[in-house]
A = this chain, B = another copy of it.
Amino acid sequence: MPHFQFHLDHTDANSMARVGRWDTPHGTVETPAFMPVGTRGSVKGVWPHQLQEVGAQMILANTYHLALRPGEKVVKELGGLHRFMNWNGPILTDSGGFQIFSLTELRQLDNDKVVFKSHVDGSLLELTPARAMQIQEDLGADCIMCLDECPPHDAPVSRLEEAVDRTTRWAQLCRDSHQREDQALFGIVQGATNPKLRERSAQGLLPLEFPGYAVGGLSVGEAPEEMYSTLDVTTPMLPVNKPRYLMGVGRPIDIIEGVLRGIDLFDCVMPTRNARNATAFTSQGKIKMRNLKHQTDTGPLDPECDCPTCTDYSRGFMRHLFTVGEMLGPMLLSVHNLAFYQKVVRELKTAIMANAGMEYRAEFLARTSGGK
């Protein structure tokens, strides 16, 4: 694909972690990369230029939410997702599969389509692989996803196997109907935490030669160790020279563990959602901003952080904002939490270049009380 080039600069001598650059039509993403999530076309509480300021290079938007409101045709009329959101860097959209299987009431599911009730107004909607492609082409992200089926992680094996096979079939149909050459279409490996099913999924998708592969169906309720061991068997099956994206993950420690296992791209609502719930990620671990102990603390949230929030605001002021329910509290903390995620990824890159990815994890765990 002329629009997309993935270069690996270095692979850690002591882990599968790698540092690379991914060229897209809207700029280069340095990997590993964490993508802030703009579910409905906005990363909650943050101006797009602030995402850039804290170092985000690529962001994610959700197909399901945008297809419902305002509708992909409206986004298209408003100039496509980049113009719509005022984000001129690379964007990734998911397929909507995850939301359909987690947010909606299913009415019908077969090899051709899924029929479900909108969580907004209860209307009956249908999604097919071809329609998932049409929506994502109208939205116009740089990187788009095949429609996948996401059963509960603890579903019976027969059910998980069915979902893997349907995901493979749908991937073929997506690839066949996808037109835009300025979009990279990724296949999604499913199979929950079952190594055999992960292998079955990867073997079904690899012949389709997608320009990148996502790992789906993780961080959906299984224990972190199960996620890590699933990655241990899954990423080695994926092409070395293509970007690998772990969907919807996760805590900072999960990102570190994912990178050490060869993952390049991540997305998660956690930095912004936790910010709205008054939880800060810091170089010393998590902090609850409503705690009385911050009341007269004139120090910054995180002395190791140089984001606008830590530069200009005291813990005491931030505690006050959350106590009285001022919007500025979530706004300040979202910027900081996103800056923190970007900093972790930057530090990790530096460590990998020195073949010290494993040491970085140990150091991170030591200073953040086990990454909690």
B-binding residues in A (CB < 8 A) = 40-42, 44-48, 65, 69-70, 74, 77-79, 83-86, 295-296, 298, 308, 312-314, 316-317, 319-321, 323-324, 326-328, 330-331
Contact = CB atoms under 8 A, between A and B. Distances in A.
A44 B326 contact: yes
B86 A320 contact: no
Contacts of A65: 324
Contacts of A313: 86
A44 B78 contact: no
Contacts of A312: 48, 86
A298 B78 contact: yes
A331 to B, nearest CB: 7
A71 to B, nearest CB: 9
Contacts of A298: 77-79
Interface hub of A40, A48, A85, A324 (most chain B Cβ within 10 A): A324
A295 B328 contact: no
B47 A331 contact: yes
A324 B38 CA distance: 13
A317 B314 CA distance: 33
B326 A69 contact: no
29 contacts: A40-B320, A41-B320, A41-B321, A41-B326, A42-B321, A42-B326, A42-B327, A42-B328, A44-B326, A44-B327, A44-B328, A45-B328, A45-B331, A47-B308, A47-B328, A65-B324, A69-B324, A70-B323, A74-B316, A74-B320, A78-B298, A78-B314, A78-B316, A84-B314, A84-B317, A84-B320, A86-B312, A86-B317, A327-B330
Nearest to A326: B42
A326 B334 CA distance: 14
